Amino acid sequence: MALGDEWWREAVIYQIYPRSFADANGDGVGDLPGALTRIDDLADLGVDAIWFSPFMRSPQRDAGYDVADYRDIDPLFGTLVDFDAFLAAAHERGIRVIVDLVPNHSSVAHAWFQEALAAGPGSAARERYLFLDGRGSDGELPPNNWESEFGGSAWERITEPDGSAGQWYLHLFDSSQPDFNWRNPEVRAEFLDILRFWLDRGVDGFRVDVAHGLIKKEEMGDHQKPSNSGPMGSRDDLSPYRGQPEVHDIFREWHQVMAEYEGDRVLCAEAWLSTADKTALWVRRDEMHQAFNFGYLMTGWDPQALRDVITESLRAYPAVGAPATWVLSNHDVIRHATRLMLPPDQDDGIGPRSPRIPEHETGLHRARAATMLMLALPGSAYLYQGEELGLPEVVDIPDEARQDPTFARTQGRRYGRDGCRVPIPWTAGAPSAGFSETGETWLPQPEGWDVHARDVERADPGSTLNLYRRLLRERRARRLGRSVLVWIDDVGEDVLAFHNHDITVVVNFGEQPFPLPSGQVIAASGPLADAHLPTDTAVWIDSGGVPIGPETGGVPIVPSDIDDLVEKYGG
């Protein structure tokens, strides 16, 4: 059964990273027909919506985040007919589908970029991207010192049609991903049309890639990123290419297009900004509907830091009428079963030469508790394929098999994101653990990947998969996503405890076992001994059907003042 009006306020949205989900044609790269064969597994898991990472036409230099044609499916993944079939099958099961839109940059293979190269300096075709003359006597130096998120300069010099060394173009990511000029009306019009193309096909919304980066400061001078700039430079508040105020007008325009369509279509911002207060301004009532909560994702396994980020989120987003969102894993970060054992801010990935490689059993124990905490929070939650199987980050990928441009652009100094992108296991004992019948996989699966296979976990009542199934069922039945969180104080520094609607949630981060409150246990992330909650364990307890919230004397979190937020962060 699909959720009703404004479903995105409480939805659990499952990210399919199509290359690594399920492969139907045996070439080692997952595809849409493969995903279709697994849709009942997602219905069985109990998710409300699916977000597809990009499957549009692309040379795949950044795994599809380099788009050559925004209105077609890459043959690697299938055809538009395959997409329509997937969408129809999802809708039949009450599952919504949102697609990934990459508006900050295209691929160098995009027709507009090719036109721009051929058209020469000063042409209208060049105006759609960010071409500038270089510095130095001969234009031999890049126009400024901006750095690519993947390492190295953010500028690439081209050869002009007459064979001379020419202008430079900006690429905040790989050199195969030239940035669009979002001050150009033609670019704006083109993307409104692309939105309509997918909305007409029936998609339920978009995850908007690099939403923080579309507008660059007009005078493109040098900028020194602070050394602790955080993932994607999210803490770099003075950045000339992050969170510029004019970006809001773009999303206001998009909001209007979404509103022309029936059903509640959603825009979700991938905006790496430093705080929830700032990010909230992206989800005001006439802009996007949701933004990823990267502040939450970047918080380590630390009760007070988690309490702070949860409180801040539940103050900031409701202030603008938006739901908070929560996320622990995605295709850009170390899987949380591994990451939560490490200090926060793991921006480089991990690999065989990393100083510390966490042990999986302990990591999984913690990850299950973290997931129980997350899925009990009001708002919407994002899951990344494979986390429901408790997958760890894959560490031992040989250098020569690594595909993330980050690895090559930093000469292997940063491992990058391949470790969370390894094709997921479905069936124990089958070739490539059931990912592909031929056994091919675009990234190598590690030894013993089968132990996490879905069929094994489905049959094991104590598995992580069955824990997720249980939590999603309870969360939906009790409408936890639409309820109100009330902190329980006086539980000591090592414990987090709160009520949400008719459940009490307790998470123990400390060494000492914590006495369980009374009530029936709905779910626990690990074994409970003598009515105590051991370390790194979470529990949901039924509060006897009594909703605890403002009506029953609970003290909910007070939303921030929206005018304050606007005054501080502008836009």
> Which of the residues are catalytic?
209, 260
Alpha helix ranges (H) inside 222-359:
247-259, 276-280, 294-297, 303-319, 336-339
Nearest C-alpha neighbor of 344 from the set 223, 200, 421, 231? 231
| Strands of 380-384's sheet in order across | 290-291, 266-269, 205-208, 96-101, 49-52, 12-16, 380-384, 325-327
Calculate the alpha carbon distances from 379 to 51, 180, 308 in Å. Answer: 17, 33, 16
| Most distant pair of Cα atoms in the chain: their distance | 80
Nearest C-alpha neighbor of 190 from the set 179, 180, 200? 180
Nearest C-alpha neighbor of 58 from the set 37, 75, 34? 75
Distance of CA 28 to the CA centre of its chain: 24
- How many C-beta atoms surround the C-beta of residue 355 within 10 A? 6
Residue 508, classed as helix, strand or coil, is: strand
| Tokens read off for 453 | 């296979």
Report which residue type is found at 271.
A
CA distance 166 to 462: 62
Nearest C-alpha neighbor of 160 from the set 126, 204, 207? 126
Nearest C-alpha neighbor of 389 from the set 324, 342, 435? 435
Instruction: For ligand GLC, give the closer residue by CB, 264 or 332.
Output: 332
Instruction: For ligand GLC, give the closer residue by CB, 209 or 388.
Output: 209
Instruction: For ligand GLC, give the closer residue by CB, 45 or 210.
Output: 210
CA distance 376 to 313: 14
Calculate the alpha carbon distances from 393 to 86, 195, 386, 455 in Å. Answer: 28, 34, 10, 20
CB 173 → ligand GLC: shortest distance, Å? Answer: 4
Distance of CA 283 to the CA centre of its chain: 16
CB 149 → ligand GLC: shortest distance, Å? Answer: 7
Instruction: For ligand GLC, give the closer residue by CB, 134 or 178.
Output: 178
- How many C-beta atoms surround the C-beta of residue 255 within 10 A? 17
Instruction: For ligand GLC, give the closer residue by CB, 62 or 457.
Output: 62
CB 347 → ligand GLC: shortest distance, Å? Answer: 12
Instruction: For ligand GLC, give the closer residue by CB, 201 or 331.
Output: 331
Instruction: For ligand GLC, give the closer residue by CB, 209 or 264.
Output: 209
Calculate the alpha carbon distances from 383 to 207, 328, 475, 500 in Å. Answer: 14, 7, 14, 20
CB 62 → ligand GLC: shortest distance, Å? Answer: 5
HSE-up of 210 (CA within 13 Å, CB side)? 23
CB 102 → ligand GLC: shortest distance, Å? Answer: 6
CB 208 → ligand GLC: shortest distance, Å? Answer: 10
Report which residue type is found at 71.
R
Instruction: For ligand GLC, give the closer residue by CB, 147 or 542.
Output: 147
Q: In the complex, which residues of this chain contact ligand GLC (CB under 6 A)? A: 62, 65, 102, 173, 209-210, 270, 331-332
CB 207 → ligand GLC: shortest distance, Å? Answer: 9
- Please give the DSSP secondary-structure letter assigned to residue 160: -
Instruction: For ligand GLC, give the closer residue by CB, 173 or 254.
Output: 173
- How many C-beta atoms surround the C-beta of residue 568 within 10 A? 12
CA gyration radius for the chain? 23
HSE-up of 106 (CA within 13 Å, CB side)? 23
Residue 371, classed as helix, strand or coil, is: helix
CB 163 → ligand GLC: shortest distance, Å? Answer: 31
Calculate the alpha carbon distances from 68 to 33, 59, 112, 280, 453 in Å. Answer: 22, 7, 9, 32, 35
- Residue 294 phi, psi (nearest 5): -75, -25
Closest residue to ligand GLC using C-beta atoms = 65
Instruction: For ligand GLC, give the closer residue by CB, 15 or 144.
Output: 15
CB 271 → ligand GLC: shortest distance, Å? Answer: 10
- How many C-beta atoms surround the C-beta of residue 39 within 10 A? 18
Residue 453, classed as helix, strand or coil, is: coil
CB 17 → ligand GLC: shortest distance, Å? Answer: 9
CB 221 → ligand GLC: shortest distance, Å? Answer: 24
Instruction: For ligand GLC, give the closer residue by CB, 105 or 499.
Output: 105
